[in-house]
Structure 1
C-alpha cells in the first residue's frame, strides 16, 4: 500500500476557501468591467452606481460579514477588489481604447491595504458590542452618504436630486441603513451606529468640502 503524505493533504476547508477566492476574483472582474462600462453609459444612474461608493461599501461589508475570521475578511476583500480594479482599467484600455491609467497602481495599492483593513474593521465591528464598533459602522455608512448623492444635498435641493439622481439617492440610503441596522450583531452596537450616522456624515462632508 502506498503511504499518503499528510502534508500534501489539504483540509476541506482550505480547498473550499481557495475555490471561493477564485470565484470572488471572477466576480470582481465582472464587477470591474461592468462598472467601467456603466461609467460610459448614457444612463446617469448606471454611471453613479459604478463610481460612487455605495455599491463598493456594500460589497466589502457583505464579504467581511460572511467571513469566518478577520484574516478571511481581509483576503476576500483584497482579492475581490484587486480583480475588480484590474478589470476596470483593462476594460478602459482594451475595450474603450482609453489607454492605461496612471491611477491603476494607486488603486491596486489601496486594494491590498485600505480595502482589507476596512474588511477587518467591519468583521470586528459586526461581532462586538459597544460604542467603538457602532462608531466604526456608522463611519462606513457616513462615507457612503457623504460621498454619494446624499452628500450633494448640500449644494442641491432634495427635489433636484430626486429629479437627477433618484436611483443613487435611494442606493445611498439603503446601503447606509443596511450597514447600521442589519450588520451589527448586538443591540448596543446598533444603537451607537444609528445615533452616530448623521453627525459623522456631516463631519465627513465638511472634511470633503475643506479638501476641495
Structure 2
C-alpha cells in the first residue's frame, strides 16, 4: 500500500496568490478603458501595488514565503494583464513590456515583499527605513505634485503611506523612524520611478 502524497502546505497560498494576481491583472486592464478616472489611476500609479506587495510580505510566515508569493502574484498579474489585452481586447501583444514586468516580478517585487516581512517584525531605524521607502514609492508616483487632477488617487497615495509607516511598524520607535524618513525617501523613490518609466517607455 503506497503512502499518500503529501502536498506542501504552501501550495494553497501560491495558488491563491496566482489566482489573485490573474484577477488583478484583468481588473487593471479593464480599468484602462473605464470612464472613471480614479479606476484608471489605481492601476497605473504604484500605491495600490506597493500596498499589496507589502501586505503579502507582512502576512507571509517566512522570508521565503513572502518573496515567492509576491513573485507569483505579480507574475500572474502581469501575464493576465497583457494576455487579456491581446486575446480579449485584440490590442496586440506588447511583449517587451510583458517581459519587463515579468523581470520585475522576479527581482524587485520579491525583494520588496521580503523587506516588508522583515520590517514589520523588527524594530529600529532600518525596518523604519524599509517601510518609509515603500511609502516613498507610493507618494513618489507624481500625483501629489498636482493633486487636483487626480484627487482620488492623491487620497489613496496618502492613505497607503499612512498604513505603511503608522499601522505596519511593530513599535513606536520604528514608527517614528518610518515617519521621519518618509520625506527624503519619497524624493529618492521619485527619481527611481522616473528611471523605471524611461526604461519602460
- Aligned pairs for 1:8-47 (under 5 A) are 8-10=5-7, 14-15=8-9, 17-47=10-40
Alignment CA distance shift 1:145-1:133 (3 Å)? same
Contact 1:148–1:172 (8 Å) recurs in 2? no
- Aligned pairs for 1:46-61 (under 5 A) are 46-61=39-54
Which residue number in structure 2 is paired with residue 134 of structure 1?
128
DSSP 3-state at the match of 1:34: helix
Which residue number in structure 2 is paired with residue 168 of structure 1?
153
Q: Does 1:146 align with 2:131?
A: no
Query: Normalising to structure 1: TM-score of the pair?
Result: 0.86
How far the C-alpha of 1:37 sits from its partner, in A, is 1.1
Contact 1:70–1:120 (8 Å) recurs in 2? yes
How far the C-alpha of 1:4 sits from its partner, in A, is 3.2
- Aligned pairs for 1:61-76 (under 5 A) are 61-76=54-69
How far the C-alpha of 1:86 sits from its partner, in A, is 0.5
Contact 2:139–2:158 (8 Å) recurs in 1? yes
- Aligned pairs for 1:169-188 (under 5 A) are 169-188=154-173
Which residue number in structure 2 is paired with residue 117 of structure 1?
111
Alignment: residue pair count: 196
- Over the aligned positions, Cα root-mean-square deviation in angstroms equals 1.9
Residues 96-129 of structure 1: per-residue CA shift (max 9 Å, x gap): 2111112111111110111111111111111111
How far the C-alpha of 1:66 sits from its partner, in A, is 0.4
Which residue number in structure 2 is paired with residue 4 of structure 1?
3
Aligned partners of 2:25 and 2:89: how far apart in 1? 14
Query: Which 4+ residue blocks in structure 1 deviate beyond 2 angstroms?
Result: 2-5, 202-212
DSSP 3-state at the match of 1:4: coil
Q: Does 1:190 align with 2:175?
A: yes
